[in-house]
Amino acid sequence: MSAYPQLDFSYFPGCSMATTAAESNASMMKAAKILGLNLIELEDWNCCGSSSAQTLCKDLSLGMAARNLSLADPGRPLVAMCPRCLLYLRRAQEALRKNPDIRQDLEDRWGRTIPLDLEIMHFLEVLVRFAADRLKQSVKRSLKGLKFVPYYGCTVFRPPDLDREKFYQGEMENILHVLGAEPIVGAYTHRCCGSFLSATDPEIVTPLVNEIVDSAVLAQAHCLVTACAMCQLNLEIRCNSKVKLPVFHFSEVLALALGAEDYEGWFIRHLVDPRPLLQDLALVA
């Protein structure tokens, strides 16, 4: 149980967090619980529409994301961990603010209101805004000695249509530094991992992923820490460089530092086993 008064948030997992990156979801939930952040999953959420709806049909993309907004309790912020989900949810809200007719149509169809003032934020922002003090007080396992490249991928703060919104550059370093880890500069931190081309054109993606991982090796990092579940997967499955580094979900490293003990279940799902590294640093037994 948490030592802190509980703070409530709505939580949108999205398809990756619910399946391929279940280890990211589990570790985030664990960390949130320790910090007293109560993430309440949106009842009957659907896919945000992802790049596929965005590519083939704008109305569909808007509708899919908007339905999730209509399920959210206007009384508490909506949190996402997947950067693309976050992007499509925020974009939809922005579009509905500008198009009251579409919003009215969707609201009539579903019989629910779509909260336009709902705050939609990344889990990183929750930590920094609501749990900064709690983080410092809750370190159970210092990450001292862990040299990591913060890998944000392309989406967390890039999109120009949201460039007046908040962005999250530097937050992973800030948080993990508080927990004892050492951020490494000089490697690729925002270069795109290849996104869905990993499924359709792996031969395009492999050299890109190798560049990213090689840059981290050159910078003498032990590992990469990602803010995006899809990046984590692509960096692992598409890298064929000689030296492969473990790629952590941000939430895994966070939960580890906060004293989580159920990490075995997360790490066996990695293609590059991070346990030898963590054992070398005496972070896990």
From 24-32, 73-81, 123-131, 156-164, give the range in contact with another protein by CB under 8 A.
Answer: 156-164
HEC secondary structure over 120-162: EEEHHHHHHHHCHHHHHHCCCCCCCCCEEEEECCCCCCCCHHH
The correct pick among 8, 104, 105, 109 for binding another protein (CB under 8 A) is 109
271 belongs to the binding site for another protein (CB under 8 A): yes
Nearer to another protein, 119 or 211 (CB): 211
Sequence-ordered alpha helix ranges (H) in the chain: 14-18, 22-34, 50-56, 58-70, 83-98, 100-110, 123-130, 132-137, 171-178, 197-200, 202-218, 229-237, 250-257, 264-267, 275-280
Show contacts with another protein in window 4-23 (CB under 8 A).
Answer: 15, 18-20
83 belongs to the binding site for another protein (CB under 8 A): no
Show contacts with another protein in window 184-213 (CB under 8 A).
Answer: 190-192, 194-197, 199-202, 204, 208
Q: How many residues bind another protein (CB under 8 A)?
A: 50
275 belongs to the binding site for another protein (CB under 8 A): no
| E strand or H helix that includes residue 226 | strand 223-226
φ, ψ (nearest 5 deg) of residue 263: -70, -25
Question: What is d(CA 219, CA 236) in angstroms, rounded to the nearest whole number?
Answer: 18
The correct pick among 8, 41, 58, 282 for binding another protein (CB under 8 A) is 58
104 belongs to the binding site for another protein (CB under 8 A): no
Record the tokens describing residue 163, joined without a space: 């460039």
Which residue ranges make up the site for another protein (CB under 8 A)?
15, 18-20, 44-47, 49-60, 63-64, 67, 109-110, 154-155, 158-161, 190-192, 194-197, 199-202, 204, 208, 233, 237, 268-271
